[in-house]
Structure 1
Amino acid sequence: MTALALPGSHTQDNGVTPNEFREGEAMTSRNKVLHFAGRRAVDCLSCRSSPFCFTGRLPVDEVPELGDIMRRRATLDKGDLLIAQGSPFTSLFVVRSGSLKQVTTTASDEYLVTALFLPGELIGLDAIGEGRYPGSVVSLETATVCELPFTEFSELGTRVPELRRRFLCHLSQELGSERLWMRLLLRRTSEVRLAHFLVAMSEHFRRRGYSPHRFRLAMSRGDIANYLGLTMETVSRTLVRYREQELLATRGQEFHILDMPRLERLAETSGRRSSVG
């Protein structure tokens, strides 16, 4: 679930610190990308995230060929660095389980949470054009990913037209999502922004067969605030208002949506902000 960083993002209390980007033991490449040990073929058909991956509905006889070029990696622990900002682009990564965030450091040393990656989603699409990863990607919780070397993937795409078509469709959908986030959130109030975010997370869990009303988010309040271009204090106050209005109940990282229709209506309103909270 990628999204553009919104104006008004803050570095104070944003849940991101340089010390969080600790390097895993396997991180030995000069490119500062956590490379995978071994070239074990990946069985895409047996992957639980396959139905949500862009390769999910490829003809069965073509999927094994894709699995042959994928590399499976060891489990990432919370806070492990998968990709370092500025590293040369070599691969895309598919999230198998868990969740990760992308954090971009600006020239003025601001830390912006610019993307959230959930199971089935691709990491690294925004690095294809410039040839470098524009942000550091860090695991929010225990997570596993597969590496898809881009040169080999491109060559396979010339032999499997359906794979190339699905990849282009995925790129188009990502572009559409970026524009939707900008249209819906750029000038909306904090209540509407947060409602959009929670409804989107609810839909994510629903599509994967989990409860859309009760779910756990590995993101801290600071990460959520930064991602939505708000302060952590504003997010906390907004959540308090949701609880008072009996829209939502929270306990740590657990969220319980009490009134989905009302939350969806709030997310769809055109409330404008006078200033970012």
Structure 2
Amino acid sequence: MTVQTYRIVPAAEPDGRGAAANGAKCGRCAYRTLCLPLGLGDRDLARLESVIGCRRRLARGDVLFRAGQPFANLYALRFGHFMTCRDDHRGERYITGFQMAGDLMGMDAIGNGEHASTAIALEDSEVCEVPYARLQALMAELPQVMAHFHRMMSQEILRDQSAIRFLGILRADERMASLLLNLSARYAMRGFSPRRFQLRMSRDDMARYLGLQLETVSRLLARFRDQGLIHLERRELEILDMRRLEAIAGGMHEAVEA
């Protein structure tokens, strides 16, 4: 795993062409409805675009930031997928989340000034680097930007609470069903099929996120497939029976032994 990004594109060029010359205008981004508040005028949108420090492209396996690293920037994921992870007291890695285009990463560092987790690219990806000091100044001037940022923080808290529920309450099959449904809903929000998508993470990553053994994850996926809930070919997943999967996630089903 490397730490070098292979491309950095400034948001503003010396000739004044700015983000538009690099195709980095926020208003043209496919995920602007996730990252940006609705109803921004052209002038306010331009001010928001001026906050972006640079765009970074990372190859699969590259580290965007590490746990313990001083906090300076937030990162809006423009395309690709990431995972965030930490090490427990035994030095074992566990996964704290999977991020996709439209997500904002690094918010867990705002409180104490350093990143609590390490962010690793699951595939070739691109992020927009947003210096937090600049964003704070802009939020003081544009209340709608502050309100949207608070909504994103609230959604992050809800995701964390959901992860705690995975580990503390749900059985193994319920955890797996909940993860697949969560991915389905998030892809649907981005305009993709909620039933057919690729699992960007490995089975080992899924196990470390769900608090399960790798063998348990493999058996559950195989059982879901055998029961006609999903079709899975390598990492290409198709949900065949959404209702039954929702029933499993909600605990309203016969036990699926792992």
TM normalised by structure 1 equals 0.82
Task: Pick one of 37, 40, 49 that aligns with 1:59.
Answer: 40
| Identity, % of aligned positions | 33
**Cα distance in structure 2, aligned partners of 1:204 and 1:112:** 22
Partner of 1:220: 202
1:45-94 Cα distance to aligned partner (Å, 9 max, x none): 000111222x1414123121111110332421110111122110001000
| Contact kept in structure 2, 1:36 and 1:147, CA below 8 Å | no
Q: How does 1:111-190 map to 2 (within 5 A)?
A: 111-183=93-165, 185-190=167-172
SS of match in other structure, 2:57: coil
Q: Given that residues 174 and 251 in structure 2 are in contact (C-alpha distance below 8 angstroms), is that contact kept between their aligned partners in structure 1?
A: yes
| Equivalent residue number for residue 243 of structure 1 | 225
Question: Offset of 1:146 from its aligned partner?
Answer: 0.3
Question: Does the 8 Å CA contact 1:44/1:67 hold for their aligned counterparts?
Answer: yes
- Bigger drift between 198-207 and 180-189 goes to 180-189
* Of 162, 184, 187, the match for 1:202: 184
1:48 aligns with 2:25: no
Paired amino acid for 1:57: L
Task: Give the gaps of 5 or more residues in structure 2.
Answer: 13-18
**Higher mean displacement: 262-271 or 83-92:** 262-271
Residue type matched to 1:38 in 2? P
More strand by share: 2
Distance apart, 1:36 and its partner CA:
4.7
Unaligned runs of 5+ in 1: 1-19, 27-34
1:24 matched to 2:24? The reply is: no
Which structure has more RCO (C-alpha within 8 Å, separation ≥ 6)? Answer: 1
Cα deviation, 1:99-151, whole Å, max 9, x if unaligned, reads 10112123421111112111111101100001101111110011111011000
Q: Give me the TM-score of the superposition, normalised by structure 2.
A: 0.88
RMSD: 2.2
2:77–2:126 contact (8 Å) kept in structure 1? yes
The answer to whether the Cα contact below 8 Å between 1:91 and 1:150 also exists between their aligned partners in 2 is yes
Contact 1:225 1:231 in 2 (8 A): yes
Tell me how far apart the structure 1 counterparts of residues 249 and 167 of structure 2 sit (CA, whole Å). Answer: 10
Q: CA deviation at 1:154?
A: 0.3
What are the residue-to-residue correspondences of 1:9-20 with 2, within 5 Å?
A: 20=1
Write the letter of the residue equivalent to 1:135.
S
Deviates more, 1:63-72 or 1:191-200: 63-72
Partner in structure 2 of residue 9 of structure 1? none
Whichever structure has more helix as a proportion of its residues is 2
The alignment partner of 2:10 has SS state of coil
